[in-house]
Amino acid sequence: MKKLFTLLSAFILMSVSAQRHCGTTDRVAQLSHDPEFAARDQAIKTYLKNARSTSNKSGFTSTTNSVITIPVVFHVLYKNNSQNVSDSQIHSQLASMNADFRKTNADFGDVVPLAFQNQAADLEIKFVKATSGPNGQPTNGITRKQVSENFDLESQYYTTAGEQAWDTSVYLNVWIGRFQTFGYLGFGTPPAAAGMPYDGLVISYKAFGCNGSAIAPFNKGRTVVHELGHYLGLSHPWGEDGSSCGELANDDQISDTPSINDPHYGVPTYPENSNMCAPDENGAMFMNFMDYVNDEAMGMFTDDQKIVARATLEGPRASLLGTKTNTSNFGISVYPNPADKFFVIKSDNMELGKVEIYSSNGQLRKTADLEKSETAIPLENFEQGIYFLRIFDANGKLLKSDKLIKK
């Protein structure tokens, strides 16, 4: 009996661990304890809702030569060689991201039923490894660091225990490592985190890329694709609060994804109606990248999801549209750095609005209004250490993120 119980427990454990578990909802709940973050998050949701409702009049629809290129840096945080994902594995992940976001994935015709193929969108977003680092140095877009045995990926990825982000207003940062939390495949921070030191994707080495340490059924790179959806403002199709159909926020607010009340797992058989709020002959769009099915069963974003992703890149993540050089063209400088009693923010050609100063653990320490061109910020109440700055223009648009060292 004891042996049978042990085998049964192992079977249940394997079954649960083989289901997709996205940590984004938990991460956003943690971040929302900060009132500033919660307010930004709500404001951005309103902005994206307006973008969807006015999409026919907006510039978010597909146009010729409108492909957006986003530079990516991959931070590999490993405790042993098996977690130190190879360059080949990283390249396979990059290829998967680009195929899925451009609707060139080879399995599209097999995975997406004919009933949904006309709703599938080419998001016209391209991801490339960064070729220039934060200080202008040449790079292959990959950093590697061996971390301690007690390193906690979920909470320490962006700290000195892990690898501090490259300017998150300019680069998409992707951290890869081993989660301590059982079942997590990854999480992505939402647009409200734009420019923050913790902004980006955090992915299990077992669900990253298409070879090496990637383990089926999550070995086609689609955990990153799913978390990129969150990074670009997309929600799970069943909404955010787990309520039943028709209640509260139980919807992703996307008009062309059929409403469902729960995620789908594994490889469902089409048509699948068990989780549908209003069952019909086509069933649920379980093959959408924002659902929880296995990698092999995912295959599409929709036209309305494209509107949201593009609106995010025109709004809260607009700084990603340029390169490091483009960002410096704003003429914004921060000096002295390191600083002691004060530092100065100066702009040669932009009208500045405010600066937010955050501690290395993401806590907002100070918000200060800025003069149009030059402002001195006192530091008498700041301890020695590393701080992160978010500099905005007079209209509230994020212009630059920077690091400040307090002596």
Q: DSSP string spanning 151-214?
A: --HHHHTTSTTS-PPS-TTTSEEEEEE--SSTT--EEE--GGGTTSTT-SEEEEGGGSSSSTT-
Max CA separation in the chain (angstroms): 77
Q: How confident is the model at residue 400 (pLDDT cuts 50, 70, 90)?
A: confident
Of 49-63, 310-324, 363-377, where does mean pLDDT reach its minimum?
49-63
Q: Nearest 5 degrees, angle CA 329-CA 333-CA 336?
A: 160
Whether residues 262 and 373 share a domain: the answer is no
Q: How confident is the model at residue 399 (pLDDT cuts 50, 70, 90)?
A: confident
Whether residues 29 and 117 share a domain: the answer is yes
| pLDDT of amino acid 43 | 87
**Total structural domains within the chain:** 2
Whether residues 240 and 145 share a domain: the answer is yes
Q: Nearest 5 degrees, angle CA 56-CA 60-CA 61?
A: 65
> 357 in a domain, yes or no?
yes
> 13 in a domain, yes or no?
no
Whether residues 334 and 299 share a domain: the answer is no
pLDDT digits (tens, 9 = 90+) for 12-31: 333 335 788 899 999 999 99
| pLDDT of amino acid 387 | 87
Q: Nearest 5 degrees, angle CA 5-CA 6-CA 7?
A: 90
| pLDDT of amino acid 144 | 99
* Contact yes or no for 403/390 (Cβ under 8 A): no
> 43 in a domain, yes or no?
yes
Q: For residue 117, which phi and psi values (nearest 5 degrees)?
A: -65, -35
> 7 in a domain, yes or no?
no
User: Running DSSP on this structure, what letter comes out for residue 140?
Assistant: -
Whether residues 350 and 273 share a domain: the answer is no
Task: Provide mean pLDDT across the span 212-237.
Answer: 98
Task: Provide mean pLDDT across the span 121-134.
Answer: 96
> 98 in a domain, yes or no?
yes
| pLDDT of amino acid 251 | 74
**pTM of the predicted protein model:** 0.82
In sequence order, the 6+-apart residues with CB closer than 8 A to the CB of 383 are 406
For the chain, what is the mean pLDDT? 88
Whether residues 277 and 390 share a domain: the answer is no
Among the ranges 46-50, 194-198, 248-252, which has the highest mean pLDDT value?
A: 194-198
Among the ranges 212-221, 269-278, 374-383, which has the highest mean pLDDT value?
A: 212-221
Residue located via tokens 């490592």: 177
Residue 364, domain CATH = 2.60.40.3080
Whether residues 71 and 151 share a domain: the answer is yes
Residue 256, domain CATH = 3.40.390.10
pLDDT digits (tens, 9 = 90+) for 232-273: 999 999 987 666 676 655 678 899 999 898 999 999 999 999
How far apart CA 243 and CA 285 sit, in angstroms, is: 19
Whether residues 270 and 366 share a domain: the answer is no
> 14 in a domain, yes or no?
no
164: nearest Cα among 400, 357, 386, 398:
386
Q: Which active-site residues does the annotation give?
A: 227
> 10 in a domain, yes or no?
no
In sequence order, the 6+-apart residues with CB closer than 8 A to the CB of 80 are none
Whether residues 182 and 94 share a domain: the answer is yes
pLDDT digits (tens, 9 = 90+) for 53-105: 876 444 444 443 489 999 999 999 999 999 999 999 999 999 999 999 999 99
Q: How far is CA 401 from CA 178, 294, 367, in A?
A: 28, 36, 14
Whether residues 24 and 155 share a domain: the answer is yes
Q: Which domain holds residue 278?
A: 19-318
| pLDDT of amino acid 2 | 45
* Contact yes or no for 329/265 (Cβ under 8 A): no
Last residue of a domain, one of 259, 294, 318: 318
How far apart CA 293 and CA 299 sit, in angstroms, is: 10
| pLDDT of amino acid 15 | 39
| pLDDT of amino acid 243 | 61
| pLDDT of amino acid 154 | 96
In sequence order, the 6+-apart residues with CB closer than 8 A to the CB of 114 are none
| pLDDT of amino acid 1 | 46
Q: How far is CA 19 from CA 27, 115, 218, 343, 369, in A?
A: 19, 26, 9, 49, 47
